[in-house]
């Protein structure tokens, strides 16, 4: 399957962003660039119980 990418915060044009990867509606991974706080927040969501991961 192919994961869908959604911007969590920022934008690539700003060169500061966090993108969250989703598979079947579930957050399964994150990529951060120059935004450690945003990546930390996304990681918290990824490590939450299954019901909270449907973002």
Per-residue pLDDT reduced to its tens digit, 26-39: 888 899 999 999 99
When comparing pLDDT for 49 and 11, which is higher? Answer: 11
CA 10 – CA 32 distance, rounded (Å): 10
CA 13 – CA 51 distance, rounded (Å): 32
Residue with tokens 């911007």: 7
Please answer whether residues 55 and 43 qualify as being in contact, where contact means their C-beta atoms are separated by less than 8 angstroms.
Answer: no
Taking the chain, what is the end-to-end CA distance rounded to the nearest angstrom? 19
Range of the domain at 22: 4-53
Please answer whether residues 27 and 20 qualify as being in contact, where contact means their C-beta atoms are separated by less than 8 angstroms.
Answer: yes
When comparing pLDDT for 16 and 53, which is higher? Answer: 16
- Check pLDDT > 70 for residue 52: no
CA 36 – CA 17 distance, rounded (Å): 9
Domain count, the chain: 1
């Amino acid at each position: 399957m192919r994961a869908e990418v959604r911007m969590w915060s920022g934008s690539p044009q700003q060169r500061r962003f966090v993108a969250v990867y989703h598979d079947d509606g579930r957050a399964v991974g994150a990529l951060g660039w120059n935004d450690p706080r945003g990546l930390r927040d996304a990681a918290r969501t990824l490590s939450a119980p299954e019901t909270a991961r449907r973002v």
